[in-house]
A and B are shown apart, each in its own frame.
Chain A
Amino acid sequence: MNGPFDFTLRLGDDALIAAQRLAEWSTRAPEMEEDIALANIALDQLGAARLLLTYAGELEGAGRDEDALAYLRDDREFRNCLLVELPNGDFAVTMAKLLLLSAYQLPLYTALAGCADERLAAIGAKARKESAYHLDHASLWVRRLGDGTEESHRRMQAAVDEVWPYTHELFTPDPAAPVDPASLRADVDATVTAVLDEATLTLPRTGWAPAGGRDGVHTEHLSYLLAEMQVLHRAHPGASW
């Protein structure tokens, strides 16, 4: 096992799969401004994924570039958290996912920006600014939906109930990693709770803590996502695009 490679791959996979899901909103958002915002966030995630996967490929030293890692691995080899592969659901589910992801990525990238690995530090420094924007955007929508109409409140609470259990996996301890995810827990919980309070929403009471993404044991959703994402690349082995 190669510690820095595994860590970098996990972050890259989180960003890549999040980008793929967010991009599914393109042409489908509730308003035109939001179509632009979601594409913007998807692009940020994709940009971070490309930097991280490129670096992961270098750390691995087996000649795999960003595309080899993105297009030529099967779901059992992907290391993203389950949260990002969940289907988009309605707009509330997407915003709940984005809130949790960005509340996690912001302190993660911020800590990374100060780590000893120069490449990861540079990626962290760039990505944390984008995460701050994502968190801001998601927080605003969670407040709007939570404290909007009866219908939007109901949907937003259902969305939080649905996705919250998937956050536990994000904090699986890894003391050897450049940033130990377990160390982020308090910060993320505080951020999320504050937003939910303002949005008149509550955290679900459940001990259910689905996990497995970091070991390549995913939900049934990922395989379909990859089938679509990889279909063209795999149909033309060795081609350039």
Chain B
Amino acid sequence: MYGNDFPADDGPGGGLLGEVEAAEAALREAAERGRRGATAGEDLAAYFAEVIDADQKIEPRDWMPEAYRKTLIRQIAQHAHSEIIGMQPEGNWISRAPSLKRKAILLAKVQDEAGHGLYLYAAAETLGVSRDELVDLLLSGRQKYSSIFNYPTLTWADVGAIGWLVDGAAIVNQVPLCRCSYGPYARAMIRVCKEESFHQRQGYEILHTLAHGTPAQQAMAQDAVDRWWYPSLAMFGPPDTDSTHSAQSMAWKIKRFSNDELRQRFVDMCVQQAEVLGLSIPDPDLRWNDERQAYDFTQPDYDELMRVIKGEGPCNRQRMEHRRRAHAEGAWVREAAAAYAAKQAAKKEKVAA
């Protein structure tokens, strides 16, 4: 099914970008159809259910179940945190990028991620929580970010592998969120997915160049894919049998596909692309299953995933320490900006009076 949406000549992410655009069109149509507002004295829960059933969007002003609000805050915040922490593994190679063109592309990409983080924090704020609170939750370790960013970038090829596999997995995960029932999140995802798709293509290009380069470059590319393949598969979360949030999130149309469905979609997409790249996927049991019309593959090590989520991955401590240090070292600057703004406001008031 998914494979058919993705002709080989369309390049990486091509079919997915089509889905993003379809979601954007659907969003516009839903807005044009309009919907009646809840009337005074109406059963708010019933109205909420009606909006969800009709594939309309819940907006910040609408009543929503407290658990729906909490689930969204948690999910959007973790998503925002992931963008911010996710700048680090790639940022690690900006100073050493091997050509000025690649340096510019990477710098722009890391900048985009900061932009996605801001955009997502703003979406979370529509649910009645402040960015500062969310940042505190991240820095104190009470909220998580994607496990993938706890792996180190050891060579330049890792920057390519992150673009191709990590951004690829992120897009597969996020494209369905473009149709999520909460309007601000759906709109954020449309914008984020478009840029991520561009990033994925750039990562693919890096790997393609390396895979067709010198023997040392080819080896570098294969080594990166070998290290990033399973952590990328694990990005879709635990298998459906162990996933705690799934059923309710599906009913609320926050989530639209299960972890395992999305993981399968990702594998099917990557196999074709790996062939074009001339790189192999490090899974001896990967093969086409004619009956299922999908690839059979080896599951990632979910015990390892749990250890990384718990804080025991290779870079968890380093990533958090880096974020905390930047925040702490910047405190005097933020305080100065606030003091200056207060002085300016006081001056204006004086002039006005």
Q: Which residues of A contact B (CB under 8 A)?
A: 16, 20, 23-24, 26-36, 39-40, 42-43, 46-47, 49-50, 53, 66-67, 70-71, 90-91, 143-145, 147-149, 151-152, 155, 228-229, 231-233, 236, 238-241
Contact = CB atoms under 8 A, between A and B. Distances in A.
Nearest to A229: B95
B273 interface: no
Given A26-B87, A43-B108, A148 B335 contact: yes
Task: Give the interface SS of chain A, mostly helix, strand, loop or mixed.
Answer: helix
A47 B100 CA distance: 9
Contacts of B97: 232
Contact of B98 (A90, A144, A241): A241
A241 B94 contact: no
Contact of B110 (A27, A148, A232, A240): A27
A228 B98 contact: no
Most buried by A among B95, B108, B332, B333: B333
A50 B330 contact: no
A70 B100 contact: yes
Interface string B8-31: 000000000000000000000000
Interface residues of B, number: 46
A93 to B, nearest CB: 12
Given A43-B104, A144-B336, A26 B110 contact: yes
A236 B88 CA distance: 25
B330 A91 contact: yes
14 contacts: A26-B110, A27-B88, A29-B326, A29-B330, A30-B333, A43-B104, A66-B100, A90-B329, A143-B340, A149-B339, A152-B332, A229-B95, A233-B98, A238-B214
B241 to A, nearest CB: 37
Interface in B194-237: 206, 209-210, 213-214, 216-217
B49 interface: no
Contacts of B329: 28, 30, 90
B91 interface: yes
